[in-house]
Amino acid sequence: MSETEARFSVLRKSADGEVVAALQKYVREASDVELNRINVIDFAARHQLAEGAVLDAFLHASQIGLFDMSWNVLCPGCGGVLGANASLRSIHKGQYSCAICAAGYEPTLDEMVEVSFTVNPRVRQIAAHTPEQLPMWDYVRQMFWSSGIEFPQGVNHAEYMKRFVIDWAELGPGEKATMSLQVAEGFLIVFEPVTHAAHFLDVKGEPTTDRQEFGVVFNNVFSPTGTAELRPGPLRLTLENRTKSRALPALYVAGDELHHLLGHRKRFLTARTLLTNQTFRNLFRTDMLEVDQRLKITSLTFVFTDLKASTELYERVGDLAAYDMVQDHFAVLNDVVARESGAVVKTIGDAVMASFPTPDRGMSAVLAMRDAMKQLNRRRECDDLILKIGIHEGPCLAVQLNDRLDYFGQTVNIAARVQGLATASSIYATEPVVRDAKTASVLKDAGAQPIAQQHALRGISETLTVYEIP
């Protein structure tokens, strides 16, 4: 048995068998391009497999060395990869600049950071393992635009690029090239994907027959994107590479064809989704954030639960019996959270803090939690386990606290305070959760009718609308 086959044999013990079979066939038969920065959502759809099972399989496969994860910071404007990182720890909280869009962006884990998977070179060597050797348009397609852009299927990428590229060059270290062009009125971009450098050419006004000169130098020092005005007519464009690696400059036409390509975005696996995945938190506990690293999430849903009168429970049934009951309750909640693509952030005494990627997932989970507690009580022929639940959605910071990925901010505070309003088995949810369209559908399907209330929460200056879901 080969080393790769042995690893797939190990994978079958922890992942869905059908998914593992699809993965093994893919590694064996897929093209090099398909095995670079695999989009998990694409893979699941193409093979008609459940996204959750596919993600779990890729995570387990990465943990045993079949795939490598890449945390790619994507430009929200053009979809280009502004930074490719081997781990979450490598992403900085400062600004990432996109030369094509002439804009800077502070990374957010739910909008800008995608997680993709590339086959490990010990499993199979592919061209992207040596990106410096990729042909010009393979580099642009695979390394800069990667899995963020929906490229047309079944077309030659080099031929397709000619729809919006006038000319291009490959320059070795220290090399220079000159392009003699006839430029028409319009907006052009000189873009170099290795150094992420760009310069805009605004061609307008009266045509000229005089040859115009323009030069661009590529180096390792980032400089803001500049704009030069030219007139329609002849142009000699000089390109010089002053870096120690090759440069791949091209002259793009910023017209309808380019905008059409950049407008076709794929759904991708976000860092937020991964951080709320229990399998990831279990397998990659040490591959989280640095102690002083704080990254933004624009929207995350938090659920807080606590057992009502747990102290009295210990007094009534005794420490040993109460401990067993509480552990059973934790097991049930962990199962529900994982089923709804959530993750348990931490437990505090008898309380649980969990996170979910979207409000509807969180609402589905809390409704299931309440039903599960009723079933547990029926099995035990008692009513001792009554769960108090609060749920809220909003922005937060992902932080590393006590060697654990945790979350910080007002959203977390409000979620905890809302849970404190609960006195029985009612669920208390804030307006952002209840007003979410998908959450409304979940509540309707469950036959639940939220009742609006006004509450002043400790530490929160404004009175909030909170909904009780009896």
What's 377's domain CATH number?
A: 3.30.70.1230
In a domain, 276, yes or no: no
- Does a structural domain hold residue 260? no
For 50-61, letters b (16+ CB in 10 Å) and e give ebbbbbbbbbbb
More confident site: 252 or 294:
252
CA distances from 151 to 168, 180, 328 (A): 20, 30, 49
In contact, 436 and 312? CB cutoff 8 Å? no
Residue of higher predicted confidence among 366 and 324: 366
What backbone torsions phi and psi does residue 288 show, to the nearest 5 degrees?
Answer: -105, -135
264 pLDDT more than 70: yes
Q: How far is CA 255 from CA 151, 189, 388, in A?
A: 17, 10, 56
In a domain, 391, yes or no: yes
Whether pLDDT at 285 is above 80: no
Q: Is residue 265 part of a domain?
A: no
Q: Provide the domain limits for residue 248.
A: 165-254
Indicate if 134 and 219 belong to the same structural domain: no
66 in any annotated domain: yes
Pair (300, 448) in one structural domain: yes
Listed residue (344, 331, 265, 343) closest to 52, CA to CA: 343
264 lies in a domain? no
Of the pLDDT bands very low, low, confident and very high (cuts 50, 70, 90), residue 384 is: low
Q: What are the φ and ψ backbone dihedral angles of 373, each rounded to 5 degrees?
A: -65, -40
Mark whether 404 and 441 lie in a shared domain.
yes
Q: Is 451 helix (H, G, I), strand (E, B) or coil?
A: strand
| Any domain includes 441 | yes
* Mean predicted confidence (pLDDT) in 386-415: 91
Look up residue 98 and give its two tokens. Answer: 């996109």
Q: How far apart are the first and last CA of the chain?
A: 58
Residue 346 amino acid letter: K
DSSP 379-408: HHTS----EEEEEEEEEEEEEEETTEEEEE
H or E segment to which residue 375 belongs: helix 359-380
Q: Which residue has tokens 């000619």?
A: 162
Per-residue confidence at 377, pLDDT binned at 50, 70, 90?
confident
- The domain boundary residue, chosen from 210, 228, 254: 254
The confidence score (pLDDT) of residue 402 equals: 77
226-230/351-356 β-pairing: unpaired
Q: What is the pLDDT of residues 149-193, one digit of tens each?
A: 888 877 787 788 889 999 999 999 999 999 999 999 999 999 999
> Higher confidence at residue 309 or residue 399?
399
How many other CB atoms sit within 10 Å of the CB of residue 413? 17
Q: Under a CB-based contact definition with an 8 Å cutoff, are residues 43 and 77 in contact?
A: no
Of the listed ranges 243-257, 280-294, 332-346, 415-429, the one predicted with least confidence: 280-294
Of 81, 116, 145, the residue that ends a domain is: 145
The rounded percent of the chain whose pLDDT value lies above 70 is 95
Q: Does the residue 272 lie in any domain?
A: no
Residues 348 and 401 in one domain: yes
Give the CA-trace dihedral at 287, 291, 295, 297, to 10 degrees.
80
Q: Is residue 376 domain-shared with residue 457, that is, in the same domain?
A: yes
Residue 428 vs residue 313, higher pLDDT: 428
What secondary structure letter does DSSP report for 457?
A: P
Looking at the fold, whether 130 and 176 belong to one and the same domain comes out as: no
What's the confidence (pLDDT) of residue 357? 95
CB count in 10 Å sphere of residue 469: 21
- Whether residue 381 is predicted with pLDDT greater than 80 in this model: the reply is no
With a cut of 90, say whether residue 299 has pLDDT above it: yes
Q: What is the tally of structural domains in the chain?
A: 3
Confidence check: pLDDT of 111 > 80: yes
**Mean pLDDT, residues 189-209:** 95
Kindly indicate the confidence band of residue 124, based on its pLDDT and cuts at 50, 70 and 90.
very high
Mean pLDDT lowest for which of 295-309, 319-333, 348-362? 319-333
pLDDT at 229 over 70: yes
pLDDT, tens only, 207-220:
999 999 999 999 98
Shared domain check, 434 and 400: yes
Residues 67 and 132 in one domain: yes
Residues 325 and 409 placed together within one structural domain of the fold: yes
- Under a CB-based contact definition with an 8 Å cutoff, are residues 370 and 427 in contact? yes
The verdict on 101 and 241 lying in the same domain is: no
Instruction: Please give the single-letter amino acid code of residue 129.
Output: H
Kindly report the pTM of this predicted structure: 0.87
Beta strand 233-241 with 212-218: parallel, antiparallel or unpaired?
A: parallel
The answer on pLDDT for 418 being more than 90 is: yes
Same domain, 171 and 126: no
Query: Are 416 and 306 within one domain?
Result: yes
pLDDT, residue 374, reads 86
Query: Mean pLDDT over all residues of the chain?
Result: 91
